[in-house]
Amino acid sequence: MVALPLVLPFAELEVGQHLYWQLGNFKIHGQVFLSSWVVIGALLALVVAGTRKLSRDPQGTQNLLEFLWDYIRDLTREQIGEKAYRDWLPFIGTLFLFIFVSNWGGALVPWKLIHLPSGELGAPTADINTTIALALLVSLAYFYAGLSRKGFRYFEYYVEPTPIMLPFKIVEDFTKPLSLSFRLFGNILADELVVAVLAFLVPLVVPLPAMFLGLFTSAIQALIFATLAAYYIGEAVHEEQH
Amino acid sequence: MNLPIPLVMASEGGFGLNFNIFESNIINLAIVIACLWKFLPSFLGGILERRRALILSDLKDAEDRLAKATASLATAQQDLGQAQKKADQIRAEGKERAQSIRLEIEKRTIEDMARIKQSSSNDLESEAARVTTLLRRQAAQLAIDKALASLPGKLDDQAQARFIEQAIQSMGNA
């Protein structure tokens, strides 16, 4: 990095710096936990507030929550199918809401007002550990879904329609979590970095288009992650019509 | 990428607040949030309001249908009650009529039996009378035959004359 000729203390960019907490033998990224807790707290508060006084006439928060539930149910039912979608609706809904609120929270909450000893707060999904954890949960979920619904017949899926597909399907089991996690992580981190770099270069107005675009991609990424997770589960529980 | 720029406030370690306007990107965020605050409620609110209106109209429809169904159930129950009443009435009338028909038939049967008995006894009497007449006639015939058979031996002129005398005398007495 070249020091700018003018000493302008506009902004600071930090990548690869983290607020490390020691937990047993693990060093964990504290800033991700902090922002995750905020996101989880916000979601819980919204849900509790929206379901406290349920009425037949859906008003305000209850209406919003019902709308979200309808949306997630439609998504899940479309991907998993009428038979099994009820079992997986909570999982897919949690994924979607957590990722969506994380992304938007990262883009909208002025995290940088809070100064940490090291690293900076942001969207939890801009950290690869979060997205890998979510993607591995999806892997576990679709294995469990397939095995619990079809038993060992689940593995027929690997040799359908022809046994030639076997190596590809095995590789797929590894590429699914990889692509899920990297897609989400990459998009959110890239968005944050673009905004940060633009804000660093031109502090006013210029980052605005990138920020709006970031809101759009954030929502799309949450939708993509949830849809793909539901699709993988649907693929695992799908019964071949013989 | 830690730029070697002298930091104004964020250089000290530990948690804290950072009110550097440019460093925290707060102005841009404020603009974005203001835009969202302005446009999102009208967009999302429209969707939510439509959804609410749809649900309310569905509920109202359902309530209307419930009311209608309740009303028709009441009418149907009323009709059922009337029909049952009518059925009871018809049943009672039928029983009554059956009773009266049975009584009448019994009475007529008894009468018929009496009449048949009467006519049979009448027949018997007339038959007996006829047989009696017949027997009487036969007995008379037999007596006449016997008399005619014994007559030639018993009847002589004297006896005949006496008989004629007697007959004339009885005619004269008559």
Q: What is the DSSP string of B119-173?
A: HHHHHHHHHHHHHHHHHHHHHHHHHHHHHHHHHHHH--HHHHHHHHHHHHHHHHH
* pLDDT tens, residue by residue, B98-146: 999 999 999 999 999 999 999 999 999 999 999 999 999 999 999 999 8
Task: Mutate one of A7, A12, A63 to test the B interface: name it (highest B CB count within 10 A).
Answer: A12
Tokens in use for B40? 């999102």
Nearest CA in chain A to B35: A212
Chain A residues with CB-CB distance to B3 below 8 A:
1, 3, 12-13
**Domain hosting residue B75, numbered range:** 11-113
Percentage of chain A with pLDDT > 70? 92
Q: What is the pLDDT of residue A7?
A: 46
Tokens in use for B56? 């309310």
The conformation of residue A161, written as its DSSP 8-state character, comes to S
Q: What is the pLDDT of residue B115?
A: 94
CB A127 within 8 A of CB A32: yes
Q: With a cut of 80, say whether residue A241 has pLDDT above it.
A: no
Cis upstream peptide for B6 (omega within 30°): no
| A74 CB within 8 Å of a chain B CB | no
Q: What confidence tier does A15 reach under pLDDT thresholds 50, 70, 90?
A: low
User: Does any domain span residue B126?
Assistant: no
* Contact state of B28 with A199 under an 8 Å Cβ cutoff: yes
Angle A166-201/A128-150 helices, nearest 10 degrees?
150
Tally of structural domains, chain B: 1
Neighbours of B58 (CB within 10 A): 10
Helix (H, G, I), strand (E, B) or coil at B16: strand
- The closest of A83, A90, A134, A93 to A237, measured between CA atoms, is A83
Distance from the Cα of A204 to chain B's closest Cα (Å) equals 6
Higher pLDDT, residue A39 or B5: A39
- Average pLDDT in chain A: 87
* Contact state of B32 with A204 under an 8 Å Cβ cutoff: no
Interface predicted TM-score (ipTM): 0.73
Chain A residues with CB-CB distance to B2 below 8 A:
12-14, 17
Calculate mean pLDDT across residues A82-109.
92
Query: How far from A173 is each of A2, A135, A143, CA to CA, in Å?
Result: 44, 11, 9
Nearest CA in chain B to A1: B3
Beta strands A114-115 and A26-29, pairing class: unpaired
Helix (H, G, I), strand (E, B) or coil at A168: helix
The conformation of residue B7, written as its DSSP 8-state character, comes to P
Chain A residues with CB-CB distance to B32 below 8 A:
107-108, 208, 211-212, 215
Task: Mutate one of A7, A34, A54, A113 to test the B interface: name it (highest B CB count within 10 A).
Answer: A113
Q: What is the pLDDT of residue B151?
A: 76
* pLDDT tens, residue by residue, A172-201: 999 999 999 999 999 999 998 898 888 888
Chain A residues with CB-CB distance to B35 below 8 A:
212
User: Does any domain span residue B44?
Assistant: yes
Give the residue ranges of DSSP H helices in A81-157.
85-108, 128-150
Q: Is B95 exposed, middle or buried (0-12, 13-18, 19+ CB in 10 A)?
A: exposed
Residue of A4, A9, A112 with shortest CB distance to B8: A9
Helix (H, G, I), strand (E, B) or coil at A4: coil
Percentage of chain A with pLDDT > 90? 48
* pLDDT tens, residue by residue, A97-139: 999 999 999 888 888 888 788 778 888 998 888 999 999 999 9
| A207 CB within 8 Å of a chain B CB | yes
- The closest of A190, A14, A9, A194 to B1, measured between CA atoms, is A14
Q: Which residues 6+ apart lie within 8 Å of A63 measured at CB?
A: B48, B51, B52
Chain B residues with CB-CB distance to A19 below 8 A:
none
Backbone angles phi and psi of A115, in degrees to 5: -100, 130
Q: What is the pLDDT of residue A14?
A: 56
> Which residue matches tokens 């040799």?
A159
- The closest of A171, A213, A178 to A195, measured between CA atoms, is A213
Backbone angles phi and psi of A20, in degrees to 5: -85, 130
User: Does any domain span residue B160?
Assistant: no
Q: What is d(CA B4, CA B60) in angstroms, rounded to the nearest whole number?
A: 67
Percentage of chain B with pLDDT > 90? 53
Nearest CA in chain A to B52: A58
Cut 0.90: pTM above it: no
User: Does any domain span residue B55?
Assistant: yes
Helix (H, G, I), strand (E, B) or coil at A196: helix
Calculate mean pLDDT across residues A49-53.
88
Calculate mean pLDDT across residues A58-64.
85
User: Does any domain span residue B20?
Assistant: yes
Q: Work out how many CB contacts closer than 8 A connect A with B.
A: 114
Q: With a cut of 60, say whether residue A154 has pLDDT above it.
A: yes
Distance of CA A226 to the CA centre of its chain: 8
Q: What is d(CA B67, CA B170) in angstroms, rounded to the nearest whole number?
A: 121
User: Does any domain span residue B65?
Assistant: yes
Please identify every stretch of chain B with a pLDDT value under 50, giving residue numbers as ranges. 1-12
User: Does any domain span residue B75?
Assistant: yes
Q: What is the pLDDT of residue A70?
A: 92
Q: What is the pLDDT of residue A4?
A: 47
Q: With a cut of 60, say whether residue A3 has pLDDT above it.
A: no
* Contact state of A117 with B52 under an 8 Å Cβ cutoff: no
Chain A residues with CB-CB distance to B23 below 8 A:
9-12, 112
CB A125 within 8 A of CB A99: yes
Neighbours of B86 (CB within 10 A): 10
Poorest-confidence range of A149-158, A170-179, A226-235? A149-158
User: Does any domain span residue B2?
Assistant: no
